[in-house]
Amino acid sequence: MQPTDTICALATAPGEGGIAIVRVSGPEAETLLAALISPAHGWESHRMYYGHAVFQGETLDECMAVLFRAPRSYTREDVAEIHLHGGDWAAQSVLSALYRLGARAAEPGEFTRRAFLNGRIDLSRAEAVMDLISAEGKRAARAAVRQLDGGVSAFIRTAQEELLSLLSGAAAAIDYPEEITWEEAAARLETGARALADKLDAACDERGARIARHGLEAVLCGRPNVGKSSLLNALARQEAAIVTDIPGTTRDVIRADVMIDGLRVRISDTAGLREGSDPIERIGVSRARRAIAGADVVLAVFDSSHPLTDEDRQLLRDTQDAPRIIVLNQCDREAVLSPGDFDSPAVVSAVTGEGIAALEKRIAAFGAGAGESELTQERHMRLARQAAASLRAAADACAAGEPVDLAVIDLQEALGTLGRITGDRVDEQLLDEIFSRFCVGK
C-alpha cells in the first residue's frame, strides 16, 4: 500500500550534540515547513534557508531548513529537514509543533520503507542502510556500502536472467517439440541449473559474513600462569583481566573487543586448562573448552621461560586440528623453549609489548576475505540456498527423465525465492519484520 500521509521524526541521535535534524516526508511537507519556519521563503528545492522555528508566536529555535521536492529526495516524496541546535528540548518542541500541524510520528524505518515502496531502492539496498548504520568495523561497513551501491541487486538480477533463460528453453521444448526434443532441452537445462545452483552457493559465505558483522572469535588458552590475562590486556590496550602470580586467577571467560585492521576481534581469556579440585575452577575449565571449540582462531599460549609440562603437551595435541597460533609468551625473560621446535610460533612479551603488533596481524589474517562475498546478509544467503536447492531439484528431474512441467515448477520456485531478496515478491509481514529493526528517523 502506498503511503498518503505525512510523517516526521528526529533523524539524528537523541541527546546533547552539535545539531539535531528533524525530518518530514509526505504530501504536506512543504506546507508544514512554510507554517513553521519564519520568515517566509519561496522554498526552492535543495536550497538551505536560514530562519527560526516559530509556533503559535513562540520562537522554538534558530535553525536552517531545506526542502527536497519529489522525486529528488530520499523517499521520492516531498521531504523537509529542519536543522536545529542539538539537545532534546528544541527537537521535541519542533516535533510537537509538527504533530499539532497534522504530521504523524514515523514508525521505525518508515522513511526507508517509503523509499522502497516508491521504487527508489530495492529491498536489499534498504537493508544495507541499517547494516551501514550498525557496522562496527571497516569490513562490515565496506560490505554494507557494496550492498547499498547495488552489488547484491546486480548479482541477483543476473541470476534471475539466467533462470529466465532456462525457463525459456523449457518453454520452447513444450511449445515446439518438432524443433527441439525434450531430451536436448533437458540436457541443457540440467547443466544450466546445476551451474547456477553452484554459483548461488558460492556467493554465500556464512562464516565470512558472520565475522564481518559480529567479529572474529579469538580464544586464549593454556595452563595457568603462562600470561594469558597479561596478553589479553596487551591486545586490548587496557586492564580487562586481573593479573596476579597466583595460578588459576581467571575462573570464567573474560572477553574484550579490539579493532585490528578494520576488523572487530573478540578476544576471550579462559581459565587455565588443568584438572583442578576446586568445583568453581572446574566449571571455568569446562567453559574454556567450549569457547575453544567455537573459536575462529585459538591462541595456544606457552611460557617460553619454562620447559613444556604435560599440560602444555596435551594442549598442543588438543588444538593441533584447530585454527591456531602458537604463542610463546614472556620472551623478555631468559628463553627455555626454542621457537624452532614449534610450528611458526608468535614470540611475544605481554609485559614489554614485543611481538604484539605481529601477533595482531596474524590474528586478523584468519578473517581475510570476511564480508567480501556477493551475499553477506543472513536472510539473503538463506534464500539463495533455497533457490539453489530448487534448481538442483529441477536438474534432478531432468536427469531422471521426468516430465518437463516438473522441472519448470522448480525453476519458477527458484525465481520467486530470488525475488524475495530484492523485494520483487514481498508481503507486508516481511516488510514489517525487516523495517522494525531500523531506528526511528531512518
**Which residues, listed in sequence order, are joined to residue 265 by a DSSP beta bridge?**
216, 258
Same domain, 164 and 227: no
Is there a domain that residue 242 lies in? yes
d(CA 397, CA 389): 12
d(CA 153, CA 7): 28
CB atoms within 10 A of CB 299: 29
Same domain, 227 and 106: no
| Mean pLDDT over each residue of the chain, to the nearest integer | 86
Same domain, 220 and 361: yes
Is there a domain that residue 431 lies in? no
Same domain, 225 and 144: no
Q: What is the pLDDT of residue 35?
A: 95
Task: Return the minimum-mean-pLDDT range out of 141-145, 288-292, 325-329, 370-374.
Answer: 288-292
- Interior angle at CA 57, CA 56 and CA 60, nearest 5: 90
| pLDDT tens per residue across span 185-198 | 788 899 999 999 99
Same domain, 277 and 147: no
- Going by C-alpha positions, the residue among 114, 124, 41, 125 that lies closest to residue 79 is 114
Is there a domain that residue 370 lies in? no
Residue 179 has pLDDT above 90, yes or no: no
State mean pLDDT over 127-153: 84
Same domain, 234 and 342: yes
413 Cβ contact partners less than 8 Å away, ≥ 6 residues apart = 387, 390
Q: What is the pLDDT of residue 371?
A: 82
Burial of 286 (0-12, 13-18, 19+ CB in 10 A): exposed
Question: 108, 437 in Cβ contact below 8 A?
Answer: yes
Same domain, 225 and 318: yes
Residue 255 has pLDDT above 70, yes or no: yes
Question: What is the DSSP secondary-structure string of 359-372?
Answer: HHHHHHHTTTTTT-
Q: What is the pLDDT of residue 244?
A: 44
Residue 250 has pLDDT above 60, yes or no: no
CATH number at residue 411: 1.20.120.430
| pLDDT tens per residue across span 79-100 | 999 999 988 899 999 999 999 9
- Start-to-end CA distance of the chain, whole Å, equals 19
Residue 342 has pLDDT above 80, yes or no: yes
43: region left, alpha or beta (phi > 0 left; psi from -120 to 50 alpha): left
Q: What is the pLDDT of residue 358?
A: 94
Q: Which of 122, 150, 183 is the last residue of a domain?
A: 122
- Going by C-alpha positions, the residue among 7, 125, 25, 148 that lies closest to residue 76 is 25
Same domain, 54 and 111: yes
pTM over 0.85: no
Helices (H), 216-350: 228-236, 279-293, 310-318
CB atoms within 10 A of CB 357: 10
Domain that holds residue 16: 7-122
Q: Bigger pLDDT: 220 or 431?
A: 220
In this prediction, residue 129 has a pLDDT band, given cuts at 50, 70 and 90, of confident
Q: What is the pLDDT of residue 429?
A: 81
Q: Bigger pLDDT: 105 or 210?
A: 105
State mean pLDDT over 243-266: 69
Is there a domain that residue 428 lies in? no
- Interior angle at CA 438, CA 437 and CA 440, nearest 5: 130
Q: Which of 96, 122, 148 is the last residue of a domain?
A: 122
Is there a domain that residue 1 lies in? no
d(CA 159, CA 170): 17
Residue 343 has pLDDT above 50, yes or no: yes
Same domain, 311 and 407: no
In this prediction, residue 279 has a pLDDT band, given cuts at 50, 70 and 90, of low
Q: Which of 107, 122, 137 is the last residue of a domain?
A: 122
| pLDDT tens per residue across span 209-245 | 888 888 899 999 888 888 888 899 888 876 644 444 4
Ranges of beta strands (E only) in 86-237 are 104-105, 216-221
Is there a domain that residue 435 lies in? no
CATH number at residue 324: 3.40.50.300
Is there a domain that residue 210 lies in? no
Is there a domain that residue 436 lies in? no
> 3-class SS at 335?
coil
> Domains in the chain: how many in total?
3
Read off the DSSP letter of residue 442: -
Residue 53 has pLDDT above 70, yes or no: yes
Q: What is the pLDDT of residue 1?
A: 59
Same domain, 358 and 223: yes
Helices (H), 277-333: 279-293, 310-318
Q: What is the pLDDT of residue 239?
A: 63
Amino acid at 87: G
d(CA 336, CA 301): 15
- In this structure, the chain runs to a length of 442
Same domain, 88 and 171: no
| pLDDT tens per residue across span 365-377 | 998 888 888 898 8
d(CA 316, CA 226): 14
CATH number at residue 28: 3.30.1360.120
The values of phi and psi at residue 57, to 5°, are 80, -5
Same domain, 260 and 356: yes
Q: What is the pLDDT of residue 229?
A: 85
Q: What is the pLDDT of residue 242?
A: 43
